[in-house]
Every structure is written in C-alpha cells, then in structure tokens.
Amino acid sequence: MVDLRQFTYTKFVIVTDEDIDVRDWGAVLWAISTRVDPARDSVLIENTPIDYLDFASPTSGLGSKLGLDATRKWAGESDREWGRPITLDPRVERRVDAIWERIGRARSDEGDYGGDAALS
C-alpha cells in the first residue's frame, strides 16, 4: 500500500532522465526548456487534497497538481529524431580556459584586463 499523505504538500512533479542533476535548478530548467512539449508532456490533476494552509487554491483543502515529463522521448512519443546535447571540443575548452586564466591574471596584476596583449 502506498502512503501519499506527504503528497498533499506537493504541487509540481518534474520527471527527468538520469543525466539531469535534479539538485541543479539550472539543469532542471534546461531539461524543461529542451525536452517538454506542453501539450504532450504535462498532466494537470484537479481537485486533489492539498494542505489547508495553501491559500493559492480556490477551495480550502482542494487544489491541483502539475506534472511535467522532462525526459528524452522514446520512439512513438515524437516523430522527430531526438537531438543530442552539444559538447565542447576538449582542445577548444582547454584553450579558452587558458585565455581566461591569462585574462584573470593580467587583470589582477595590472588592475584592469591587460589590454589586447592578454588575449594574444
């Protein structure tokens, strides 16, 4: 038997894949913005028990819940080919990191960004 008493405090449920760090709100928002079609991937449940102290509902003790499916879609859920996240080329990433390190060092040494010399 499932005990859902604590569910009365839950208004929103967002389901993600394992590649999303659910403790990183930026990652969750990225999953919502890139993996959710509102018509296909949301469910709204009305007139469910909620906390009596939740004054957002029109009726005391009854409210609604929203579920979002922010997962990659399986065959049959979409006719489109599912994309892959873009990743940086490791060589480019190392080069950019080195430039930022030089810029930061030049700024701290000279009190400004070090001019164009810091970028060369």
Fill in the amino acid letter for 70: A
Q: Which residues lie closer than 8 Å to 79 by C-beta, 6 or more apart?
A: none
Burial 14-30 (b: 16+ CB within 10 A, else e): bebeeebeeeeeeebee
Q: Say which residue, 106 or 28, is predicted with more confidence.
A: 28
- The model carries a pTM of 0.66
High-pLDDT (> 90) share of the chain, %: 48
Residue 65 has pLDDT above 70, yes or no: yes
Please give the mean pLDDT across all residues of the chain: 84
Strands (E), the chain: 12-16, 42-49, 62-70
Q: How confident is the model at residue 41 (pLDDT cuts 50, 70, 90)?
A: very high
Residue 5 has pLDDT above 80, yes or no: no
**Averaged pLDDT, 92-116:** 71
Least confident range from 88-92, 102-106, 111-115: namely: 111-115
Q: What is the pLDDT of residue 1?
A: 54
pLDDT of residue 64: 93
Supply the pLDDT for residue 40.
95
Answer yes or no: are the C-beta atoms of 43 and 67 closer than 8 Å: yes
Please state, in angstroms and as integers, the Cα–Cα distance from residue 14 to each residue in 10, 26, 28, following that order. Answer: 11, 13, 8
Q: What confidence category does residue 113 fall into, taking pLDDT thresholds of 50, 70 and 90?
A: very low
- Residues 75 and 50: their CA atoms lie apart, in Å, by 36
Rg from Cα positions in the chain: 23
